[in-house]
Amino acid sequence: RENEDLTTVMADATLPVMYFYNGDVQINELHGYVNKMDAVGMRDSITPVNSDRILSVCVDTYGSEIDGISYEVRSLDSKRLVAESEIKDFKIKNNKIESKIKMQNILEKENEYLLVFELNLGSESVYYYTRIMQTDDCNVNECLDFALDFHEKTFSEEGSTFFPTYMEETIGDTTTLNHVDLSCTVEQIMWGDFKGEPLGKPVASYKEINESYNVITLSYILQSKNEHGETEYYNVEEYYRLRQSDTRMYVLNFERDMNQIFRGENNFVTEDSNILLGIRDKNVNYKVSGDIIAFVQEGELWTFNQETGEITRVFSFRDGNSIDVRNNWNQHEIKIIGIDEAGSVDFIVYGYMNRGDHEGEVGTAVYRYDGLSHTVEEQAFIPFLKSYEILKAEMGQLMYLNESKIFYIMIDGKVCSIDLNTLEYKVVIDNLKTGCYAASLSNQYFAWVDSKNEDSSTTLQIMNLKTGVVSEVTEGDKKYLKPLGFIDE
């Protein structure tokens, strides 16, 4: 039968975003999931509950109609239901819902619990996950105030006398603003010659809370004018590990990562055809075929034709006209599989899907970009019910697509193959344990030993995923083998 043309623009983000308040400071930005996730693996943030057990909640609906809000508190292993309730009589003003929740008197002090919210949007439910802890003696307010003050002083002349108190010996890289810590210079912490202005207030997130220290991150966007008068944008995240004593605050660790959001309409090519990617790390994810370069920058995939000068944004969750907090949430990775001379690219996007058909899902999507028609075709999507961090740690170890359209991926200690022509699924290697396997740089080669005899295996197996051929390396008696890793391939 004939197929209709199903080409369409990626749908806009629709899911609400949830926040909490610590005093008047907005904390712990939560993004929604359309599937019930494995709550044990959703450990990104921890929300402090004060002694009166009142939790201030805000939902930015972005125009979505909310029919109901409920929540449940569970033990950290999610097996025990501690409490559940429904938030009633909420009102929406300017597309925002604000409510104060009185938590039941069942939280043991300084014990962590799982808090799961469910928002009803018509016939659909959206889930939000965080950890909570009743914190009386952990100095959460003092540490947050200090982190915000430290952040403000990076843009102030006061910083020149404030920061040396917390600095270490200057042994870090003093040439970059991409990664700055206490081993760099005061000038780097204060942005050097860079002139930038934050877009709005930073979003604070508690990552760890205990009596010894608190871990807090601040995320925000900087905008700046370059030498051509063009506006540039940067994603910035600051990491603080702080301890409050009776007399002073100790900065156990401070790190700041800054990465430019690439904009194809700006001047980005030098006279000698170098592409200027701006402030970022030096390990660029790219592949070249003929005159075509494919590269990944801050969660986006681009191609550049050196002969024609044409720049194409192949894949992005950002819409290009504005930086929506939902589109800009960087909880995904892009892996380039291959590129041909026509500019067609095979690539994988894995992590949280900010918008489109899989909005609010975590998973791995296999795509092919057609360099002639400038369209992206989804070839397979593999859902995952744990967090992006766990997906990255598990599946990120092995992803390979060969010329026969056989896609190999690691899931739950198994190497699986998916035939993208038929979507047939097979388990190729089973029962893999950490330390018993290794993949080459391109993931074309995979080596492993039998995990049942991991300390006494005399045979090492190596599979060429391009051809599917398995070869063996064997040693004699009392000589055991274990894969440590590949040197490139």
What pLDDT shows up at residue 3? Answer: 58
The answer to whether 18 and 10 are in contact (CB under 8 A) is no
Q: Output phi, psi for 161, to 5 deg.
A: -100, -20
| CA gap 435, 442 in Å, rounded | 19
Residue 226 binned pLDDT confidence (cut-offs 50, 70, 90): confident
Among 468, 472, 427, which residue's Cα sits nearest to residue 449? 472
In this predicted model, what pLDDT tens digit does every residue of 363-420 receive, in sequence order?
999 999 999 988 999 999 999 999 999 999 888 889 999 999 999 999 888 999 999 9
| CA gap 402, 418 in Å, rounded | 11
What 3-state DSSP class applies to 293? strand
Give yes or no for residue 1 having a pLDDT over 60: no
- Over residues 250-271, the mean pLDDT reads 88
What pLDDT shows up at residue 468? Answer: 92
Report the share of the chain in percent with pLDDT over 90.
68
Name 245's Cβ contacts closer than 8 Å, sequence gap at least 6. Answer: none
Structure tokens at 19: 């926040």
Round the average pLDDT of the chain to a whole number and report it.
90
* Least reliable range by pLDDT among 2-11, 113-122, 472-481: 2-11
| CA gap 434, 451 in Å, rounded | 9
Structure tokens at 325: 């907090």
Please measure the distance between the N-terminal and C-terminal CA atoms of the chain and give it in whole angstroms.
44
Residue with tokens 């058909």: 357
What pLDDT shows up at residue 382? Answer: 92
- Over residues 285-314, the mean pLDDT reads 92
> Running DSSP on this structure, what letter comes out for residue 123?
T
Angle, alpha carbons 239-242-244 (nearest 5°): 160
Name 139's Cβ contacts closer than 8 Å, sequence gap at least 6. Answer: 214, 244
Residue 222 binned pLDDT confidence (cut-offs 50, 70, 90): very high
In this predicted model, what pLDDT tens digit does every residue of 147-179 receive, in sequence order?
999 999 999 999 999 999 998 787 878 889 999
- Over residues 283-293, the mean pLDDT reads 93
Residue 448 binned pLDDT confidence (cut-offs 50, 70, 90): very high
What pLDDT shows up at residue 169? Answer: 80
- Over residues 329-348, the mean pLDDT reads 93
- 399-401 and 231-244 strand pairing: unpaired
- Over residues 191-206, the mean pLDDT reads 93
Whether this model's pTM surpasses 0.85: yes
The answer to whether 316 and 13 are in contact (CB under 8 A) is no
What pLDDT shows up at residue 137? Answer: 75
What pLDDT shows up at residue 153? Answer: 96
In this predicted model, what pLDDT tens digit does every residue of 39-74 receive, in sequence order?
898 988 999 998 888 899 999 999 999 999 999 999
